[in-house]
Chain A
Amino acid sequence: RKEVEQDPGPFNVPEGATVAFNCTYSNSASQSFFWYRQDCRKEPKLLMSVYSSGNEDGRFTAQLNRASQYISLLIRDSKLSDSATYLCVVNSGYALNFGKGTSLLVTP
């Protein structure tokens, strides 16, 4: 089983839609969880950290379920500028493990 698994998509949604991404991780000892965003031919950038109690940043909501080893990202009122690849990131000992990413395309 891979350390971090994500549905690769692509998710094609119209502007204004709500879309959810899921991620599972294998290391039950993991302590830190993040969602990163990567635009085409660019470096990954932090979107938000994921906290045990769940957290929200504007249109973005992240949830963590430690029992099921599951992380989610919800994007409300999608914008064209949200089109990107979203990477689920989980720490495992010495480094962060990155999922392969979920591709999102928001269309007019």
Chain B
Amino acid sequence: NAGVTQTPKFRILKIGQSMTLQCAQDMNHNYMYWYRQDPGMGLKLIYYSVGAGITDKGEVPNGYNVSRSTTEDFPLRLELAAPSQTSVYFCASSYSSVNTIYFGEGSWLTVV
């Protein structure tokens, strides 16, 4: 049972570098999400997608970009990494906006 798979699990970036966090789900879910969670804080929605080819901004989209070319994949791109982007990133998916949401194991990102 793969569910939601995120890679990499850990990454250290230098300020100004770029990278892509990969996310894939095998549950044929329409909805996919990217959240970030800072230490001791709640989850904040970065971007979401309601289906292939459709993406939209969440609460904290600045500094990030996403694409959804297939139902399965929802990569998150960080351009010009900044220390404020040091966080844990969770990808998640659900069948719809009212159904249970399933999370990947998280990607720990440090920008130095």
Q: Is B23 an interface residue (CB 8 A)?
A: no
- Size category, A interface: 20 to 34
A32-70, CB under 8 A of B: which get 1 and which 0?
Answer: 101000000111111001000000000000000000000
Minimum CB–CB distance from B69 to chain A (whole Å) comes to 20
Give the size of the chain B interface in residues (CB under 8 angstroms): 23
The residue on B at minimum CB distance from A101 is B42
Residues of B within 8 A of A41 (CB): 106
A79-108, CB under 8 A of B: which get 1 and which 0?
Answer: 000000001010101111011110000000
Minimum CB–CB distance from A20 to chain B (whole Å) comes to 20
Chain A residues engaging chain B, CB cutoff 8 angstroms? 31-32, 34, 41-46, 49, 87, 89, 91, 93-96, 98-101
